[in-house]
Structures are given as C-alpha cells and as structure tokens.
Structure 1
C-alpha cells in the first residue's frame, strides 16, 4: 500500500510541475486567464514590432 501511495504522489507532483511549466492553471478565474493571454499577445506583438524595425533599419544602412 505504501508504494502505491508514493507512486500516486509522484504522479500528482509530475502533473503539477507540467501544468506550471505550460502556464496552465485550472484554478485561475476567467479574468485572470484573459489578462494572462493579453499580456502574452502584447509581448509577441512587441517582439514582432522590434524585429520589423530592426530589419528596416538594417535595410536602410545597407543602401549607404
């Protein structure tokens, strides 16, 4: 019985760790989930905007 309980505990810990790594938390409210998604999307747009600006600046320098 003790070995079975230990393996159940390890499985639960592995699942909890996997959820934390994926950023998925079933206990969050709808508002918190939306806020998290908005922040992620804003960060992606920021990175994309910076990459485009860098490519445009590189193109301008290459012409000189």
Structure 2
C-alpha cells in the first residue's frame, strides 16, 4: 500500500502557480485593507480639522 504525502510542502512543490496566486491575492487584500484604514483616518482628521475650529 502506497502512502501519499499530502503535507504542506508537497502541495507547494506540486502546484507552485496556485500557491503564488494565493499569496498574491492575500497580499492584495491586506494592502487594500491598509489603504482603506488609512483613507478613513485621513478623512476623519480632515473632518475633525474643519469642524474643530470655530
């Protein structure tokens, strides 16, 4: 009976394109989230600056 190796490393060796795409999409999601947070902070600061001064 042959035991198939289905560990983490063997998946990356077998299908490197898929793992590369997965890493890229996860990086894109992370950068999108960072830009969203940054944009919200800038918007809040601008609004606070406009309404904070009499």
Normalised to the residue count of structure 1, the TM-score between the two structures is: 0.58
Structure of greater relative contact order (alpha carbons < 8 Å, 6+ residues apart): 2
Question: Which residue pairs with 1:59 in the alignment?
Answer: 45
1:3-18 maps to which residues of 2 (within 5 A)?
Answer: none
How big is the alpha-carbon RMSD for the aligned residues of Structure 1 and Structure 2?
A: 2.1
Aligned residue for 1:44, secondary structure, equals: helix
**Which consecutive residues of structure 1, in runs of 5 or more, have no partner in the other structure?**
1-18
**Which consecutive residues of structure 2, in runs of 5 or more, have no partner in the other structure?**
1-6
